[in-house]
Chains A and B, each alone.
Chain A
Amino acid sequence: MEVMVEIEKTIGEFHLQTSFTAEAGAIFGLLGESGCGKSMTLKCIAGIETPDKGRILLNGRTLFDSERGINLRPQKRKIGYLFQDYALFPNLTVWENIAIVLKDKKQTQQYIEQFYLSGLEKHNPSMLSGGQKQRCALARMMASKPELVLLDEPFSAVDRNLKWNLELQIMEILEEIKKPVIFVSHDRDEIYHFCHKIGILEQGSMREVGEREEIFAHPKTVAAAKIMGCENLFSIPGSRDSYVGIPSEAVRPALPGEEAQIRGWVEKIFCEKDEMIFVIMTEQGRFWYRTSREQKDVKRVGEEIGFWIDRTKIWYLSM
């Protein structure tokens, strides 16, 4: 069971071009900043938006093919779409929201129980907590028996302190369904928790697709390095689109007597709860250095500082 996506769509100045495949059992994560075209990609797959060009295949079934003039209605695609705001029907109760896609009461009851919604059947969506809304939306989606599940920023509307419980809950459900899943988020931690395969989307283009461990440990593009939280990106002199990324684990202050590869002056220091972030002015530009707050013998603003860099841990990146 797999979904194959290869689409292009232009809206005004924005050009979306993505291609990837996602298989059952390996959740596919689409990671990118807001406005990069993640939601648009999902909408094209679900049939809510129509791509200009390309193909979408689900388990060998053609959902969209611009050359052959195929464009199935969303109703025929069998795709479950969990919206960011859950999009529960506000005029219907929890029971009715699920029953609307099913024919018999027994099945509705089954979904109510499976998604821990017992006792909430007669509630309106406005009376539910964020987690309950999400369970209701998931129950409704699963009741439609989708062959592919799309999750659009499922935790963005949830309070931070509730997120963990919801993550556990969704993880449990996703493990059970054995269907291809596409998970969209701008949060790399969420993507790391859930996904096995990752696609990095930037300004409408798929920059990099790969296994989770591979992308997190050795990104190959600037877009991927940026979203992994790497601030230190330098273009290689003499080449137009080659860059190096220096992840924080490759850097430590040079010991006395050791030769420092990077040298500069402390411009500013940001203090966070457990971390201190040094902004260093160097000849190559600004350099960011993160260290724990417990570290002793720290430099002050205006002082000179040198760093030793482990060359084996440097990332070589393309644009």
Chain B
Amino acid sequence: MDFTPILLSLKTAVAATCITFFLGIYAAWKTANMKYGKGILDAIFTLPMVLPPTVTGFFLLVFFGKNSLAGRVLMAHGWGLIFTWQGAVVAAVVVSFPLMYRTTRSAFEQLDGNLLAVGRTLGLSETKIFWRVVFPNCFPGILGASILSFARAMGEFGATIMIAGNIPGRTQTAALAIYTAMQTGNREQAYQLVGMIILISALAMLAMNGVNKCQAHLVRKGGN
């Protein structure tokens, strides 16, 4: 069996989750504490979740394509995103970002606001409050968000095929390879890949349940 598509999917998803992790947390923390403009930013950040992935892919193509400024700057440095696995990573980041952002933000919003207030009156800096209080107390939520994002990135198809194409061995991830295998009548290959994807996704969801239990435990323990 050819493991290349699976390995490519894993590589893309891991890289994308690492990026989404920080972007999502940052966006969630900034918007959770905002007074004005929260709704508009929230809508923009959530858009990739509700748009058809092909539309997201279309925008990415326009933005990073040869004719755009960003595309030309990247090309000049030899970092072309179009038809590369890095392009697949960008597609996965954009598509999985809303899941990371929304789940993390709801974890932040569930945190007792008095903990932040008391931290401030004690003279702790905002950075210290975030890393010593907010992050550890929301960790199960953040971990759950990361797992969801990873699973979403693993399954990414539409935006990936738009920006990275479907080049076997280079940008053909498992989701794309299954499609190609079916199109070319290679059922055996399709079954194998489907089996692998189901296995990985099921493991991710089991991990998610573990995290939920951990969260319930934390909530029960509570601060007060």
Contacts and interface: CB of A to CB of B under 8 A. Distances in A.
B40 to A, nearest CB: 23
User: For B114, B115, B223, which residue has the most chain A Cβ atoms within 10 angstroms?
Assistant: B223
Contact of B132 (A46, A47, A89, A141): A89
Contact of A90 (B117, B119, B122, B137): B137
How would you classify the secondary structure of chain B's contact residues: helix, strand, loop or mixed? Answer: helix
A11 B81 CA distance: 51
Contacts, number: 79
B133 A87 contact: no
Contact of A79 (B119, B121, B125, B221): B121
Nearest to A91: B136
B140 to A, nearest CB: 11
Contacts of B119: 89
A88 B224 contact: yes
B114 A83 contact: yes
Chain A interface size band reads: 20 to 34
How would you classify the secondary structure of chain A's contact residues: helix, strand, loop or mixed? Answer: loop
Contacts of B118: 81, 83, 87
A89 B128 CA distance: 13
B121 A80 contact: yes
A83 to B, nearest CB: 5
B123 A144 contact: yes
Interface in A71-93: 73-75, 77-81, 83, 85-92
Contact of A126 (B115, B120, B136, B223): B223
B45 to A, nearest CB: 27
User: For B121, B122, B128, which residue has the most chain A Cβ atoms within 10 angstroms?
Assistant: B121
Contacts of A141: 122
A61 to B, nearest CB: 15
A101 B223 contact: no
B22 to A, nearest CB: 21
B121 A144 contact: yes
A220 interface: no
B129 to A, nearest CB: 10
B124 interface: yes
A157 interface: yes
A75 B132 CA distance: 16
Contacts of A86: 224
Shortest 10 CB-CB contacts between residues of A and residues of B = A90-B223, A74-B120, A87-B114, A87-B118, A91-B136, A81-B121, A126-B221, A144-B122, A48-B117, A85-B224
20 contacts: A47-B120, A74-B121, A75-B120, A75-B121, A75-B123, A75-B125, A78-B123, A80-B121, A85-B223, A87-B114, A87-B223, A87-B224, A88-B223, A89-B133, A89-B137, A90-B137, A91-B136, A133-B224, A143-B122, A144-B123
